[in-house]
Amino acid sequence: MRPRRRAVLALATLVVGAAGCGGGGGGDTGPDAAVFVSPYLKIEASTQRPGDAAAGYSALVNKGYVNCGIPYSLYRQAFGAAPERERLDGREGHNPELPYYQTAFTTRSGVEVVSANCLICHMGEINGELVLGLGNNDRDYTIDAAQTVNAAAQLVTDPAERAEILKFAERMTAIAPYTRTRTIGANPADNLAAVLFAHRDPVTLAWSKTPLLPLPPEIVVPVDVPPWWRMKKKTSMFYVAAGRGDHARIMSTASTLCSDTVAEAEEMDVYFPDVAAYINTLTPPPYPFAVDTALAERGKVEFGKRCAECHGTYGEGATFPNLLIPDALIGTDNTLSLGAGQFADVYIDWFNGSWYGQKSHLQPERGYLAPPLDGVWATAPFLHNGSVPTIAALLDTTKRPKYWTRSFRSTDYDEVALGWQYTELPAGQDAEPNQANKKKIYDTTLLGYGNGGHDFGDGLTSDDRTAIIEYLKTL
């Protein structure tokens, strides 16, 4: 254990012990659930609470787990009903008319508010279709999200509503500077969690206006939102396999924006096993274009030789090994695996010493989990940071563009290379004066945006590579 981490952990254990609930937190935080199978780390399964998938879907699209937002009355003045394609079934109250990524609910103070839900990040578009569980890949987190909320707060006069929007504005103002990415589509969730942990007492979960821990650097580590359908095979959550123990409780940290007491967190903790159960029922959308079956069969054989050891086997009798590949062997950008965002020691220690740490713990590894490749055709761009636009480029490092841009239209799909149609550019963000164009550039020279590593496709003949790509369409 690194010295700083040990010191903070000791402190956290003391705090937890003094509060009389050391039993869960301390004991769960040791390095466990991973066995070293040279040269990879196998991440072993931990016990999960059972849940009801149908109840989980209903909770996901109806419950107010974010616990604050914009007063519904104000929302209605600004926005009409959502277009048909953005509506979801099974929604209650005002929710049938809201877009999938927003939920209306009543806060403890009795005010109906609207806030974003999990699907703002976990529902994405591919080939013109919105798919629940596909990671969003085109939202713009380069802007200052607090500005609009602060401006909107000026319009609210009702005292109860005003108290609600001011609370929401306060939280948004706290996170805004630390959650701005450099590129559209890159997600700041790992930094967001870090800021929220920094503002909360780990034991009481009370919000502190001034941060109790150092804040993360304003440079946001970019993450490509992973598809939810992987979770049924995974024994841990997150790219660095950090999420161990009870996954439902880790998912409920999405409520750390505004839940300020253990009582509120416990209320949500009751239905998060249902949400987890629902997530485990999801399957990827089938590849919508033609597949050359004979070629795919040949690709399956090659995949078995070169890829299955890490990524598992598919179809009848499928297997998945849950292997964490250390940085030195995978070689992809290691900004995240070195401990960025919520995975920096100080936040790991916060989590493991907190109410959340009583049932789960964060234990990031210095490397990346080889993910299940189910529905991989739909999950472009590739790698944990979304740095590679197509699978053809992923499997041939000489083809990876250093600077690239795309239309962000999900129909601009490349059926040959399997991924986004993109334009390679001669220079990066620094050379682009226009802000609107700049943020559309994926610049692999920025910190955390690197596109190196995973060179396992380099030794393939171009025929074998084509065959493997054909096979990947069938997963």
Nearer to ligand HEC, 189 or 203 (CB): 189
Burial of 78 (0-12, 13-18, 19+ CB in 10 A): exposed
Interface pick for ligand HEC out of 70, 220, 254, 348 (rule CB under 6 A): 254
Minimum CB distance to ligand HEC, residue 332 (Å): 3
Q: Cα separation of 135 and 94, whole Å? A: 25
Do the beta carbons of residue 198 and residue 215 sit within 8 Å? yes
Do the beta carbons of residue 175 and residue 196 sit within 8 Å? yes
Nearer to ligand HEC, 156 or 250 (CB): 250
Nearer to ligand HEC, 153 or 279 (CB): 279
**Side chain identity, residue 153:** A
Q: Cα separation of 34 and 51, whole Å? A: 25
Q: Within 197-236, which residues bind ligand HEC (CB under 6 A)?
A: 223, 225-226, 230-231, 234
Structure tokens belonging to residue 223: 């993450």
Selected range binding ligand HEC among 80-88, 118-126, 168-176, 256-264, rule: CB under 6 A? 118-126
Nearer to ligand HEC, 26 or 419 (CB): 419
Do the beta carbons of residue 257 and residue 67 sit within 8 Å? yes
Structure tokens belonging to residue 395: 């499997």
Binding flag, residue 181, ligand HEC (CB under 6 A) = no
Binding flag, residue 237, ligand HEC (CB under 6 A) = yes
Binding flag, residue 193, ligand HEC (CB under 6 A) = no
Minimum CB distance to ligand HEC, residue 266 (Å): 15
Instruction: Enumerate residues 6+ apart whose C-beta is below 8 A from 97.
Output: 81, 82, 87
CB atoms within 10 A of CB 119: 21
Q: Cα separation of 240 and 366, whole Å? A: 7
Binding flag, residue 273, ligand HEC (CB under 6 A) = no
Window 306-345: contact mask with ligand HEC (x via CB under 6 A): xx-xxx-------------x----x-x-------------
CB atoms within 10 A of CB 386: 24
Question: Which stretches of the chain bind ligand HEC, using CB under 6 A?
Answer: 65, 118, 120-122, 187, 189-190, 192, 223, 225-226, 230-231, 234, 237-239, 251, 254, 275, 279, 306-307, 309-311, 325, 330, 332, 368, 370-371, 373, 376, 379, 382-384, 391, 394-395, 454, 456-457, 468
